[in-house]
Structure 1
Amino acid sequence: MFDAESVPRAFQDALAFVLPVDCAGCSTPDTALCETCRAALAPRPRALETDVDAPVYAGLPFDGVAARVMRGLKEEGRTALARALAPALAAALARLPGDPDVPPWIVPVPTSRASMRRRGYRVADLIARRAGFVPRHPLRLARQPADQRGLTADERRVNVVGSMAARRAAGRRVVVIDDVSTTGATLGEAVRALREAGADVVGGAVVAATPLRAGGGASFGGPWGEASETHG
């Protein structure tokens, strides 16, 4: 798969002539991500108030440019965009408590087989690697939950209960990561599974999170405004 970020910026205009692209954030032609949209992805980390029994931070609100760029990465196969989203994940991780001399494992929530077949890559893993982290994979899906889209916060929590299991995590300090969080239900299930396996879960971090919406959802330690899109 072509990755524009692997090519020096000086050659991207020429490549755009051969392989034309539009900005993932605003559809400006002949650029993968314009400077205005890059600026809009500057990290704005916030603490999330969720039911997760651990501190959770998000690097950006899942809204506007961030939501469109994430969709480009997840649904359109534009893997180069992971590099632009990586600083938001790094900023969220930096807010978590810990000993810098003993870094925790960075553990993404597991990806379903169907999503992996469709995309060919794991979104949270890819962003973490672009941020300079090495993901670990003690988590696995014990069962496939139903699609979360359209579910209330309570329904999401019930839907994911018992859906994950962990192994070879006993005694490890762990941070759970994901690309987007809506209610924190998926992160909460990951924390449960890891703790049952003996891990010391430091907290959770996501690239982006949806601001509080009618019908239930996570709330934030700082004002991010209303979300214009939702995450499944």
Structure 2
Amino acid sequence: MSTVPVSWSHGVRAAVADAVTFWFPVACAGCGALDVDVCEGCRAAVTPRPRRLPLLPDVDVISAVEFDGAVARMIRAFKSDGRTSVARVLAPALAAALAAAPPGATVTTVPASRAADRRRGYRPVDLLLRRAGGRAAPLLRVRRASADQRGLGRDARRTNVAGVFAARTPPAGTVVVVDDVVTTGATLREAVGALRAAGAEHVLAVTLAYTPRRTHT
């Protein structure tokens, strides 16, 4: 049985890689610069500057960076375009926000719908948390379908996600609920409400990013 020479095989793979790069060149997820996954300038844009704001009268949300410019484009590329490698660039900022949580807190994530998980093939928030060195306890689940929140106003967002989550009974202590971006806070408030209904006494919210237009309510 004949075999393909190793050098020839390597040559074919190199030629294929060159062809793919020619037709589908790598571009920075933040600014579009060619031949780099994320350029140094866009990496610098994800330098964490944690900000703490009230989510509910007795629950705060801590966010690492502002959802704007290169950061917003990188998060969209990670969530919507399947560029999972960008998680390694975003994760240190999330880790900085998580550092404000009490030691020993139970960490969980805001789940997406099953349809969204199937469409992407991965769970963005869970992947981001793992890259940040955390591990999620599966406390929350989606119990009904909701529309995409993008493009909805504050009141419409609140109505859209009302009652969307159910939760398992959490262990004693603080529960930290993690999401990627907080806009109006409607989704996180529903997640906190579900956790409290299941018995959580102390809850803290953490996100990678917050939208510049977000107010304290």
Judge same fold: TM > 0.5, yes or no: yes
TM-score (normalised: structure 2): 0.84
Amino acid aligned to 1:181: V
Q: Give the corresponding residue for 2:182.
A: 181
Deviation at 1:139, TM superposition (A): 0.4
Given that residues 53 and 188 in structure 1 are in contact (C-alpha distance below 8 angstroms), is that contact kept between their aligned partners in structure 2? no
Amino acid aligned to 2:147: A
Aligned-partner Cα distance in 2 for 1:134–1:73: 19
Alignment of 1:120 with 2:121, yes or no, is yes
Q: CA-to-partner distance for each residue in 1:75-126, whole Å, 9 max, x for gaps?
A: 1111010011111111112234x2x2xx111111011111101111111101
Deviation at 1:146, TM superposition (A): 2.1
3-state SS, counterpart of residue 137 of structure 2? coil
Deviation at 1:164, TM superposition (A): 0.5
Alignment of 1:47 with 2:70, yes or no, is no
- RMSD of aligned alpha carbons: 2.0
Q: CA-to-partner distance for each residue in 1:35-63, whole Å, 9 max, x for gaps?
A: 11111111111113434741111100000
In the TM superposition, 1:19-58 aligns within 5 A as 19=21, 20-51=25-56, 53-58=58-63
Identity %: 53
Amino acid aligned to 1:34: C
Deviation at 1:172, TM superposition (A): 4.9
Aligned-partner Cα distance in 2 for 1:118–1:38: 27
Given that residues 57 and 205 in structure 1 are in contact (C-alpha distance below 8 angstroms), is that contact kept between their aligned partners in structure 2? yes
Count, aligned residues: 198
Deviation at 1:197, TM superposition (A): 0.6
Amino acid aligned to 1:123: P
Q: Give the corresponding residue for 1:154.
A: 155
Change over 3 Å in CA distance of 1:109–1:52 after alignment to 2: farther
Change over 3 Å in CA distance of 1:185–1:124 after alignment to 2: same
> Which residue among 68, 86, 90 is the counterpart of 2:73?
68
Change over 3 Å in CA distance of 1:175–1:157 after alignment to 2: same
Q: CA-to-partner distance for each residue in 1:145-190, whole Å, 9 max, x for gaps?
A: 2222222212212221211101132535310000111011111000
Structure 1 gaps of 5+ residues are: 1-14, 221-232
Q: Which of the two has higher C-alpha Rg? A: 2
Deviation at 1:17, TM superposition (A): 8.2
The structure with more helix, counted as a fraction of residues: 2
Amino acid aligned to 1:67: A
Alignment of 1:86 with 2:91, yes or no, is yes
Given that residues 16 and 31 in structure 1 are in contact (C-alpha distance below 8 angstroms), is that contact kept between their aligned partners in structure 2? no
Given that residues 86 and 127 in structure 1 are in contact (C-alpha distance below 8 angstroms), is that contact kept between their aligned partners in structure 2? yes
Given that residues 48 and 219 in structure 1 are in contact (C-alpha distance below 8 angstroms), is that contact kept between their aligned partners in structure 2? yes
Amino acid aligned to 1:37: C
TM-score (normalised: structure 1): 0.79
3-state SS, counterpart of residue 55 of structure 1? strand
Given that residues 192 and 203 in structure 2 are in contact (C-alpha distance below 8 angstroms), is that contact kept between their aligned partners in structure 1? no
Structure 2 gaps of 5+ residues are: 1-16
